[in-house]
């Protein structure tokens, strides 16, 4: 969206705080913060965690060189590209394109090995061992092969794994799926159920049927797998007279990225 009638700010912390306050009233899937100021990046991480964890606002934030976030809601771009006309792109400017690609990715799509348009090389270049270290460190690193630049692996910064946040949570496709389910079910509830449907057995069955229909669609798209509408969902009355609880079991689908072969020579 073109902006008009504005003035350039100084980029101080006060202005960034005001910006994040303004962002809070908007709906978006991906937020790109094109700065290399540690304080601003820390503020962005805190903002992302608060909205995701406390406000139920599911989105991801793309930063440059900030893998220490260690959080599935934050993506850290490590390096940049050289374009076909020889321009070396500052990673802060490339961050916009990475954020746009993440925002445009479908719920059943991974950006692993996706190509960066008009890019022919990366800067800086890394050795294979450095690339592996970067991936293990939770960094989104770009590599170049045969004149094409690709996202080596579509991952976020999560590197501390627990029973609640497994290794699957480091994959952005998985997070896109989980975030879409949370956002879409909330939108459906807001538009079709709040204040319109009785909170009785019949009303909860309507909500359950709508949720099952949505999840069957996702399964048809390959975004989730092994969903069993008989055993993986229950819709129950909540503690309050107007509240309802959905308990849901979901298995997101990921893309093929690794192959292991056992070859017997006879």
* Full domain range(s) for residue 71: 13-151
The alpha-helical segments, DSSP class H, found in 148-257 are 172-192, 201-221
CATH of the domain at 146: 3.30.1370.220
* Residues 6+ positions from 63 with CB-CB distance below 8 Å: 33, 41, 44, 45, 69, 74, 75, 76, 77, 95
**Given the DSSP bridges, would you call strands 80-83 and 119-123 parallel, antiparallel or unpaired?**
antiparallel
Q: Are strands 60-64 and 30-32 parallel, antiparallel or unpaired?
A: parallel
Number of CB atoms found within 10 A of residue 65's CB:
15
The answer as to whether 34 is a domain residue is: yes
- Asked if residue 187 is part of any domain, the answer here is no
CA angle 122, 127, 131 (to 5 degrees): 80
Q: Is 216 within the bounds of a domain?
A: no
Strands 80-83 and 74-77: unpaired
Give the separation between CA 50 and CA 227, rounded to whole angstroms. Answer: 30
Residue-wise pLDDT for 150-197, tens only, equals 999 999 999 999 999 999 999 999 999 999 999 999 999 999 999 999
Report yes or no on 211 lying in a domain: no
Contact in structure between 75 and 102 (CB atoms under 8 Å): yes
With tokens 């005001």, the residue in question is 18
Write out the two tokens for 52: 């995701």
Kindly report, residue by residue over 227-265, the tens digit of the pLDDT. Answer: 999 999 999 999 999 999 999 999 999 999 889 999 999
Domain annotation covers residue 169? no
User: What pLDDT score does 9 carry?
Assistant: 77
Q: Mind listing the pLDDT tens digit for each residue in 41-50?
A: 999 999 999 9
For position 261, what pLDDT does the model report?
Answer: 94
Could you tell me if residue 140 is inside a domain?
A: yes
75, 140 Cβ separation under 8 angstroms: yes
Structural domain contains residue 83:
yes
Q: How many domains does the chain have?
A: 1
Give the pTM: 0.93
Evaluate whether residue 128 is within a structural domain: yes
Predicted local confidence at residue 204, as pLDDT: 97
Looking at every residue in the chain, the average pLDDT score rounds to 95
pLDDT band at 60, cuts 50/70/90? Answer: very high
């Amino acid at each position: 969206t073109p902006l008009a009638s504005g003035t350039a700010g100084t980029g101080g912390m006060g202005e960034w705080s005001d910006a994040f306050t303004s962002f809070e009233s908007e709906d978006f899937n991906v937020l790109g913060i094109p700065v290399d100021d540690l304080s601003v990046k820390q503020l962005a991480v805190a903002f992302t965690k608060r909205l995701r964890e406390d406000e139920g606002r599911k989105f991801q934030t793309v930063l440059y060189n900030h893998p220490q976030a260690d959080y599935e809601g934050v993506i850290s771009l490590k390096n940049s590209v050289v374009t076909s006309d020889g321009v070396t792109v500052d990673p802060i400017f490339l961050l916009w394109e990475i954020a746009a690609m993440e925002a445009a990715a479908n719920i059943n799509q991974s950006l692993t090995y996706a190509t960066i348009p008009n890019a022919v090389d990366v800067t800086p270049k890394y050795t294979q061992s450095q690339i592996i270290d970067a991936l293990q460190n939770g960094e989104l690193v770009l590599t170049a092969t045969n004149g094409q630049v690709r996202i080596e692996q579509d991952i976020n910064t999560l590197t501390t794994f627990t029973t609640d946040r497994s290794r699957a949570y480091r994959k952005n496709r998985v997070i896109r799926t989980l975030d879409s389910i949370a956002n879409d079910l909330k939108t459906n509830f807001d538009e079709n159920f709040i204040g319109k449907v009785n909170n009785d057995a019949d009303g909860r069955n309507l909500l359950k049927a709508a949720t099952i229909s949505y999840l069957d669609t996702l399964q048809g798209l390959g975004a989730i797998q092994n969903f069993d509408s008989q055993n993986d969902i229950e819709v129950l009355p909540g503690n309050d007279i107007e509240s309802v609880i959905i308990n849901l079991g979901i298995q997101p689908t990921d893309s093929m990225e690794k192959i292991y072969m056992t070859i017997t020579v006879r």
